[in-house]
Amino acid sequence: MSTPILLAFAMLLDAALGEPDWLWSRVRHPAVLMGDAVRILDKRLNTGTNRRLKGVATAVVLSLSALFLGWTLSFLGPIAEILICAILLAQRSLVQHVQDVADTLRLSLPEGRAMLARIVSRDTSHMDQGQIARSAIESASENLSDGVVAPAFWFLIGGLPGLLFYKAINTADSMIGYRNETYLEFGWASARLDDLLNFIPARLTGIMIVLLSNTWSKWIEIIEDAQRHISPNAGWPEAAMARALDVALAGPRSYHGEIRHLAWVNENARQDIGPREIERAIGMLWQVWALSLGLVMLWLALSHFI
C-alpha cells in the first residue's frame, strides 16, 4: 500500500476519533514516551561544560533512535502504519482543545483563562476576553502547522521513519528549545533542527490558509509579519490566519510574570475579539485539513502517471 493511501486513511482516522481518553488513560501516549526520553537525556547530559556539544549528541541520539524505530515499526504492516500515523497526528485533538477555550470563555473569563492555560505556556491569570481569544487562535495556527501539516508532510516524504524523526525533534524542541540559562546551549541543536524540519510545512500551511481565505492581496504583509515574528516558522500560519479572520494576533504577553513586548501580527486589525473568532479559526483548521487531504490524493493520482 502506497504512502499517500496510508496517510489518507490516517488523516481520516484521526479526524474521526482523535485521542480517546479511555485509551490514553490506560497506556502511555507515544509522544509522552518521547518526552520521557528527552527528560532522561536532559537530566544526564545537561550539566557541566560543553553543553552545546552534549545537546548536539542528544539531537543525534533522538534522531537515529526515531529513524530506527520507525523503520522497525514499518515492518508491522499497513494497518499498524495507519494507526501509528493517526496517533501522531493532532487534528481532532487540536480542534477540541481550541473549541473548549471558546466554550468556557462564553461561560466566564476565569473558566476561559483556566482552559487556555492547558494549551499555552504564557501567563493567563489576568487576560481579558480579547487576549484569551487571540492566544487561542495563535495556538491553533501554530499547532495546525507543527501538529498536523508537518507530521503529514514528513510521513509523506519518509514514511514512519520520517514521521517519528520529526515528532522526536519537535518534542525535544518543546521541552529543551528555550532561550534561557538552562537550555540556551543544550537545546540549541534540537531547536535549530526543529526550525529546519518545520521550514516547508509552516510556509505551506500559510499558503493554504491564504488560498482558502482568498487573501492573496495581503501576501506581502503576511511575509513582513512572518519575518518580524519571534519564531522563524510560527509567524507564517499566524500571519495568514490573522488576515483570514481580519484580527490582530501576537503582541505583548507575559511569561512567568515578565512582560515580553513581541511584535504584533496584523496590528491594525481588530483586537477586541472573542469566542466567535475562535470558532472561525476552527473552521479554517478543518478547511486546511480538507485541502491537505485533497493534496495527498492529488499526489497519489499524479504518482500513477509519473
The per-residue pLDDT for 262 is 83
The per-residue pLDDT for 288 is 98
User: Which residue stretches of the chain have pLDDT < 50?
Assistant: none
Residue 108 CA, distance from chain mean position: 27
Q: Is the pTM of this model over 0.85?
A: yes
Q: How far is residue 188 from each of residues 43, 55, 130, 132, 255, measured CA to CA in Å?
A: 16, 7, 34, 30, 20
The per-residue pLDDT for 304 is 73
The per-residue pLDDT for 306 is 64
Instruction: Give the burial class of 180: count Cβ atoms within 10 A of its Cβ; 0-12 exposed, 13-18 middle, 19 or more buried.
Output: exposed
Closest-CA residue to 196 (of 224, 219, 165): 165
Residue 135 CA, distance from chain mean position: 14
Instruction: Give the burial class of 153: count Cβ atoms within 10 A of its Cβ; 0-12 exposed, 13-18 middle, 19 or more buried.
Output: buried
The per-residue pLDDT for 122 is 86
Each residue of 18-45: pLDDT tens digit? 887 777 677 888 888 999 999 999 999 9
Residue 249, H or E segment: strand 249-250
The per-residue pLDDT for 1 is 75
The per-residue pLDDT for 20 is 79
8 Å CB contact between 128 and 53: no
The per-residue pLDDT for 300 is 87
The per-residue pLDDT for 224 is 95
